[in-house]
Amino acid sequence: MSSAKRSLLPRATGFAHQLLEQNLRPGDHAIDATCGNGHDTAFLCRLVGERGAVIALDLQDAAIAATRAKLASEGLEACLLQGCHSELPSLISPYLPDNGKVEAIMFNLGYLPKGDKSVITEAGTTIRALDQACSLLADFGLLTIAVYTGHDGGVAEGEAVDLWSRGLPQDHFSVISYCFENQRNSPPHLIAVQKKPASA
């Protein structure tokens, strides 16, 4: 009998990490559009390595401080920017590579865990940011969106994101949705979008 370890299906955030691990390479560029406590930013930094670059963004100074501390504790570096992700292009343009494209963009929606739960991502700014994110993706680039519906406003935002994702043109993007169908307490689900190269 094989002794290979078996594993449970990953949570939405874990599945996002698996997809990014398969696609990101050392030297790539990535954006964390909701850096929060810095876990995803640190994850992206580890994947792209010292030759790559990560830009991390959050609305709240508490999140920027938490991400800065997380990176420092692991000896990692990223470009940290405070602002709304609906202003993505103007905030990040000075830090983009020459071709203006990135290989990965992560969104982890909702509120800052252990932070101010009244500050949440909202459908209007989220959809605007997602549209902008799509135009920043390099060929084969991945956009991952972890969607939380358990808090006030979460269902409306989740429905808006699902609808937005289904409307992306098939010729240019592949879109998947990953969710647990039978779990209590509104587990997060994942939308992942990949930019197809022109010839595909």
Ligand X SMILES: C[S@@+](CC[C@H](N)C(=O)[O-])C[C@H]1O[C@@H](n2cnc3c(N)ncnc32)[C@H](O)[C@@H]1O
Q: Which of 138, 150, 160, 153 is nearest to 180 (CA)?
A: 150
Among 59, 123, 147, 168, binds ligand X (CB under 6 A): 59
64, 32 in Cβ contact below 8 A? no
Q: Give residue number: closest CB to ligand X.
A: 36
Among 17, 28, 31, 34, binds ligand X (CB under 6 A): 34
Q: Is 44 in the site for ligand X (CB under 6 A)?
A: no
> 120-179: which residues touch ligand X (CB under 6 A)?
121, 125
- Using CA atoms, how far apart are residues 90 and 97, in angstroms rounded to an integer? 14
192, 130 in Cβ contact below 8 A? no
Q: Is 58 in the site for ligand X (CB under 6 A)?
A: yes
Which part of the chain contacts ligand X (CB under 6 A), choosing from 17-25, 53-61, 133-141, 162-170? 53-61
57, 88 in Cβ contact below 8 A? yes
**Residue 32, CA atoms < 13 Å, CB-side half-sphere:** 33
Q: Is 57 in the site for ligand X (CB under 6 A)?
A: yes
Phi, psi of 52 (to 5 degrees): -95, -170
Among 23, 49, 60, 172, binds ligand X (CB under 6 A): 60
Q: Is 63 in the site for ligand X (CB under 6 A)?
A: yes
Q: Is 112 in the site for ligand X (CB under 6 A)?
A: yes
Q: Is 119 in the site for ligand X (CB under 6 A)?
A: yes
CB of 108 to ligand X, least distance (A): 3
- Using CA atoms, how far apart are residues 161 and 141, in angstroms rounded to an integer? 19
Task: Estimate the crossing angle of helix 39-48 against helix 12-23, to 10 degrees.
Answer: 20
| Residues near ligand X (CB under 6 A) | 34-40, 57-60, 63, 84-85, 108, 110-112, 119, 121, 125
